[in-house]
Structure 1
């Protein structure tokens, strides 16, 4: 069975969640004597502040996407360099073995630009192998050992970059789940304390009661109604 994706349980932005949590923590410290009657201590308030700060420090999805985009650009640049190196060899191969011959086909470069990255890397290794096997015949074309070695090096570097990109994409989902889980936990704690604050002041101090309203409206309902 496929694992169900963790979903956000709040409609605030992450920045709003952090700011509101820190704000309510300040109000709670002001009203600490009243909260003590509900078993909520200064340590609990500090824990809320610490949780909010830790959540704020988590890498955002936007930051992760930017890292993936950068890694993809680096990978594509390396692929282009390898493509140029392969074409440089294949021009020389074509001068010795006509296109359509078994010798030319053995290099496996058909539809080279349309190959997946994994296929492209495998093809590069085949090109290097075949170039060495036919080094005697290709020597007259100006093909050098350095050219062939360059293909091997570029293929290895591209393979490393491809793995790094795949890991970043996999990490994105894991980090997203960590962030959503932490956000949900922080939100649940915030709502619990905010509800307590409203209960403390609802009948005796309207302004202080209002201090513990988390959000005026959320999808047509008051946050107070949602968390009651």
Structure 2
């Protein structure tokens, strides 16, 4: 069965989750004596703090996107180099056979600039095969083994970059899912603990009660007191 999409339980930023979590832990340590009878120990608070610190230090989506963008730029630049190398060969083929000849069409380089990455890769490899086949008749027009070898090298480099990009996309998806799950776990525990704090101080201390309120909202408009998520 396919794993369901993981959604964030909290509406504010990850940075707010970190700062809010540390703030509430500080309040709970201040009020440790009131929490101890409910089983919320110093060890549990330290465990939550460790989880928050680990979460804070993990790679963010901004960094993952930057890594992915860098590989995409390299791939696109390599594709441009490959197109130039293919056109250099095809200029020799056109000079020899023209563009309507069956030999020219065998290279299959139509709409080169519009081809997808996979189609461009296949085209590059085909140009090398067909170019090698007709090399004896195209040598006089300037086609060389070095040109075909250069295209093979570019194809290999281009293919590696395509694979690298796929890996980066996959890594980003995994990292984001892991990050959402980690954030949700922190939020769930944090709400459970602060809900206990609200219960403790609800009828005895307004100031301390307010210390344990979490506003599950992006901004200060229409704040919503967070409730315990279902498990």
TM more than 0.5: yes
Q: Which residue of 2 aligns with 1:222?
A: 224
Structure 1 spans left out of the alignment, 5+ residues: none
Q: Which residue of 2 aligns with 1:198?
A: 198
- Aligned-partner Cα distance in 2 for 1:108–1:95: 16
- Aligned-partner Cα distance in 1 for 2:86–2:55: 48
Q: Which residue of 1 aligns with 2:50?
A: 50
- Please list, as runs of the form range in 1=range in 2, the aligned pairs for 1:91-130 lying within 5 A after superposition: 91-130=91-130
Q: Which residue of 2 aligns with 1:80?
A: 80
Q: Secondary structure at the match of 1:223?
A: coil
Q: Report which stretch shifted further, 173-182 or 153-162.
A: 173-182
What are the Cα deviations for residues 164-211 of structure 1, in whole angstroms up to 9, with x where unaligned?
112222222222211111111110001011111122222222212211
- Aligned-partner Cα distance in 2 for 1:100–1:92: 14
How far is the alpha carbon of 1:125 from its aligned partner?
A: 0.4
How far is the alpha carbon of 1:70 from its aligned partner?
A: 1.6
How far is the alpha carbon of 1:55 from its aligned partner?
A: 1.3
Tell me if structure 1 keeps the 8 A contact 2:125–2:152: yes
TM-score of the aligned structures, taking structure 2 as reference length: 0.92
How far is the alpha carbon of 1:222 from its aligned partner?
A: 3.1
- Aligned-partner Cα distance in 2 for 1:127–1:211: 70
The CA RMSD measured in Å over matched residues stands at 1.9
What are the Cα deviations for residues 6-36 of structure 1, in whole angstroms up to 9, with x where unaligned?
1111112111001100111111111112111
Q: Report which stretch shifted further, 136-145 or 83-92.
A: 136-145
Structure 2 spans left out of the alignment, 5+ residues: none
